[in-house]
Amino acid sequence: MRGVRWRRAVSQAGRSIAVWGVSTLTMLVLAGILPDFRLQSPDGDSATTIAVTAAVGAGVFGVLSALVWPLLVRLLLLVPALVLGTLVFFLNGSLLLLALRLNPSGQSEAAPETAVIVAAVMSAVASATGGALAVRDDDAYRRRLYRLADRRRRGGPACPVTPGTVFLQFDGVGHDVLEAAVRKGLMPTVARWLGGGPGQGGGAPAADGGATHRLTPWRTDWSSQTGASQLGILHGSNHDVPAFRWYEKDSGEVMVCNRPTSAAELQRRAVARTGDGGLLSADGASRGNLFSGGADEQALVLSIAARRRSRETRSRAGYFAYFSDPANAVRTALSFVAEVVREIAQSTRARLRKERPRVGRGGLYPFVRAFATVVERDVVVAAVTGDMLAGRTAVYADLVAYDEVAHHSGPLGRDTEQVLGRLDRALALIESVAGHAPRPYRIVVLSDHGQSPGETFRARYGLTLGDLVRAGCGLPVPRRAERTHSGAEARAAVRAALRRPVEEGGARHRPAGRGSEPIVLASGNLGLISFPDVPHRMSKEEIDARHPALLSMLADHPGIGFLLVRSERHGGVVLGAYGAEIPLDRLDDDPGPLAVFGPGAADAVRRTHSFPLAADVMVNSFHDPADGEVLAFEEQIGSHGGLGGAQARPFLLSPLALSPPDADGAEPVGAEHVHRVLRRWLRESNGPEVPLEPAPEEHAA
C-alpha cells in the first residue's frame, strides 16, 4: 500500500513539474510576441535571469490559481451567470498581474489588457498539458474527477452497492431526430448503445445482439413543452398546466413556466395534488431543471431561484463546483466566445442565402445561445459527474442546447446537427465517469418533447394570432398585416368573416363591445384566448353572443387547425373549418379536424378540456402531416407546445437491464405515465426504499 501511495506521489509530482515547465515556456513565448508583456528590465537581462523570472511567475500564477480562484468564484456566486462568464478573463488576468508583482526579480510587468490574454493562454495550455499527461493514468483521471464531487460525502455512510440511475434529458430532441442523427453517424455513443444503429421494431434493440439500450418513443400531452412535461415527469402531475404560458382569471396573473415564481407555484401545486415529494425524493439530485423533483441536492433549478438563498436552496451552487477550477473557467469562456462567433456566422450565412423559413437572430440571442450550448452544458455535466462520484441514488439533469438552437435554426439542418454531436460527447463523458463511481450506474436518456418545423404564423399570413383575434372582436388591426408575401390569404379570410375590409383605406372598426380586450398568449403553435372581465371560462354561446364573428373566423382561417371551447349544450366542442362542430364525446367516431393530428389527439384535447385553468378558447395551428409542418404563433421556425408533427413524439433511451417502458410494447402516453415508468425503474434498481407514489387522482383537490 505504501508503494502504491509512493508511486502516486511521484507521478503527481512529475505531472506538476511538467505542467510548470510548459507554463514557463508559454510565458516566455508570450513575452516574446506581445509588446506590452515583458520579463526583463529595460536594460536587458541574461537568458538565465529571464528564464528564472518566467519560472517563478508561472509557479506563483499556478499557486494563486489553485488557492485564490475558488474563493473568488464563491464570492461571485451572487453575480448573474452571464456576467460571471465575462469576468472570468478579467479575474484570471488580475491573478497574473498579482503573480508578476510577487515575483522576487521585480523585472516582469504587463499591461492589464495583455495580462488577460496571457492568463487565458497559460490556463488553457496548463489544462491541456495536465489532461494529456493524465489521459493514460486511470488513478490521475479519477482524482481529477473527484474534485467535482460534493465534499460533504466525506465521512458519510458507506455508498450502497445497488445501481444508481442518471436521467439525462436532451431537451427538445424528438425520437425521429435522434434516429436520424444515429443513422448519419452524428451520435456514435447512442449508436453503440443501440447495437450499431437505431432501434428496430418499435424501439427494440438492433438485431446484432450488441445493444445495451432500447429506444422507445412516447407521446406528450397537448401541451408539448418543457414546463408541462418536466413537471409531470419529476412530480407525477401536470394537471391544470394547459400551455407554456396562460392567464389565470382568479388571480389576474399570467403564469409562465420558465418564470421562477411560476415554477415554484406549479411545483407546490403538483406536490399538493400527488401527496409525494417527487421522483428524486430518495437521495436525489436535480441539475439544470425547471423543478426540483424533491431532490435534496439542487443546483441551477428554477423553482428555487425565487426563494431566499440559503445552504439548502443554492440554485446556482453548481457554478462554484465548475468555475472553481480556473482552467475550466477559461476553457468555457473561450468556448462561449467561439459559440457567439459561430452563431453570428451561421445567421449571416442563412441571411445571405435567403434561406426560408428564417427568424431574426440578432440582439442578445447569440449570447443566450452560447450560454445554453456551452456554459449550461459544461456546468450541468460537471454537476452530474460530481453526483455520480458522490454515489447519489438518482440524478436528473436537463441539457437545453438543442432546444434553444432549433427554435431559431430549425429542428433539422447543420446548425442543430452540430449540437447533437456535442450532446453525444457529453453523454460519452458521463458514461466514462460511471466507470470511476463508487457504485454502478444505469444511464437513461430521454427527451421532454420534440420540435416541429415550419415558418411562423406571422411570416405566412402577415398578422399574429393576436391581430386576428382583435379583428374578430372588432378592434383595430395593425397595418403590418399587409406587408407579407402571403398576407392576402389571411386578409381574405378576415374579410369573408367580417364582411368588411380590415385596416385598408382608413376603414373604421366596430366598437369592441362591452368588457375589456381579450388576452392572447402563444405557446409554440398553441394559442390561448381569455376574456379577463368574465370570471369563469366562457362558453361558445357566450362568446358568439359577444363577438359573433370571432369563432367562425378563427376556425375558417387556413393557418388554424382547430379550436377547443366549452359548450353549454355539449360540455365541450372542437371547431374546425366549414362549420365543423364536434362534441368531445363523439371525437372517437368522428375526429373531424383532429384526424390529421394522429392517434391520441382526441384524448389529449379531452384531458386539457377538463382543466379548470383551460383558456376560453384553445387554438391549435394548422398541421401538414406530409412534411410535419406547423405554424408557430411565436417567432420560432422550430416550435413545440401544441399538437402536430414531431413535437409530440419524444423518446426514452433505457438500459436493457431495466424493464420495458410498457409490458405490452405500447408507447407511454403523457408525462405522468413517464413518471410512473421512471419511478418503477428506480425501484427495480434500489428496491422498496423508492416508494411507488399514489396516483394523482387520489389526491386531487
Per-residue pLDDT, 602: 96
Q: Please indicate whether residue 516 or residue 382 has the higher confidence score (pLDDT).
A: 382
Give CA 399 to chain center in angstroms. Answer: 5
Answer yes or no: is pLDDT of 182 > 50: yes
User: In this structure, is residue 410 part of a structural domain?
Assistant: no
Answer yes or no: is pLDDT of 72 > 90: no
Domain count, the chain: 2
Q: How confident is the model at residue 440 (pLDDT cuts 50, 70, 90)?
A: very high
Q: What's the pLDDT tens digit per position in 492-511?
A: 444 444 434 334 333 333 33
* Residue pair 634/360 in contact by the 8 Å Cβ criterion: no
Q: What's the pLDDT tens digit per position in 215-272?
A: 999 999 999 999 999 999 999 999 999 999 999 999 999 999 988 899 999 999 999 9
* Rounded Cα–Cα distance for residues 448 and 397 (Å): 12
Beta-carbon contacts of residue 14 (< 8 Å; ≥ 6 apart) = none
Q: What's the pLDDT tens digit per position in 640-691?
A: 999 999 999 999 999 999 999 988 888 999 999 999 999 999 999 876 555 5
Answer yes or no: is pLDDT of 96 > 70: no
Q: What's the pLDDT tens digit per position in 295-324?
A: 988 888 888 876 655 444 444 455 666 666
Query: What are 361's three cell numbers?
Result: 437572430
Per-residue pLDDT, 506: 37
User: In this structure, is residue 320 part of a structural domain?
Assistant: no
User: In this structure, is residue 504 part of a structural domain?
Assistant: yes
* Rounded Cα–Cα distance for residues 623 and 594 (Å): 10
* Rounded Cα–Cα distance for residues 31 and 35 (Å): 7
- Alpha-carbon Rg for the chain, nearest whole angstrom, is 29
* Residue pair 92/332 in contact by the 8 Å Cβ criterion: no
User: In this structure, is residue 369 part of a structural domain?
Assistant: no
User: In this structure, is residue 55 part of a structural domain?
Assistant: yes
CA angle 238, 239, 244 (to 5 degrees): 60
Q: How does the average pLDDT of the chain come out, rounded?
A: 79
Query: Residues 683, 686, 690, 694: what is their CA dihedral angle, to the nearest 10 degrees?
Result: 10
Answer yes or no: is pLDDT of 282 > 60: yes
DSSP string, 435-497: TTSSS-EEEEEE-S---EE--BHHHHHSS-HHHHHHHHTT----GGGGSSTTHHHHHHHHHHH
Question: Average pLDDT of 276-293?
Answer: 92
Question: Average pLDDT of 330-354?
Answer: 84
User: In this structure, is residue 136 part of a structural domain?
Assistant: yes
Instruction: Provide the 10 A C-beta neighbour count for residue 76.
Output: 17
Give the DSSP letter of residue 255: E
3-state percent breakdown (helix, strand, coil) of the chain, nearest 5: 50, 15, 35
Give, for 56, the enclosing helix (H) or strand (E): helix 47-67
- Domain of 511 in residue numbering reads as 463-645
Give CA 515 to chain center in angstroms. Answer: 39
Least confident interval from 8-17, 265-274, 477-486? 477-486
Q: Which of 146, 175, 208 is the last residue of a domain?
A: 146
Percent of the chain with pLDDT over 70: 65
| Euclidean distance between the first and the last CA atom of the chain, given in angstroms as a whole number | 61
Question: Average pLDDT of 599-604?
Answer: 94
Per-residue pLDDT, 566: 96
* Rounded Cα–Cα distance for residues 243 and 249 (Å): 15
- pTM greater than the 0.85 cutoff: no
Q: Which residue shows C-alpha cell 528564472?
A: 52
Question: Average pLDDT of 351-360?
Answer: 83
Q: Which of 128, 146, 164 is the last residue of a domain?
A: 146
User: In this structure, is residue 196 part of a structural domain?
Assistant: no
Q: Please indicate whether residue 532 or residue 33 has the higher confidence score (pLDDT).
A: 532
Residue closest to 55 by CA, chosen among 92, 5, 86, 100? 100
Q: Please indicate whether residue 81 or residue 246 has the higher confidence score (pLDDT).
A: 246
Q: How confident is the model at residue 360 (pLDDT cuts 50, 70, 90)?
A: confident
Q: Please indicate whether residue 67 or residue 73 has the higher confidence score (pLDDT).
A: 67
Question: Average pLDDT of 387-393?
Answer: 90
Q: Coil, strand or helix: which one is 370?
A: helix
DSSP string, 61-91: HHHHHHHTHHHHHHHGGGS-HHHHHHHHHHH
Q: Which of 614, 645, 676 is the last residue of a domain?
A: 645
User: In this structure, is residue 324 part of a structural domain?
Assistant: no
* Rounded Cα–Cα distance for residues 587 and 567 (Å): 15
Answer yes or no: is pLDDT of 560 > 90: yes
Per-residue pLDDT, 336: 84
Per-residue pLDDT, 692: 58
* Rounded Cα–Cα distance for residues 539 and 256 (Å): 25
Question: Average pLDDT of 559-572?
Answer: 95
Most confident segment among 34-43, 99-108, 518-527, 657-666: 518-527
Answer yes or no: is pLDDT of 25 > 80: no
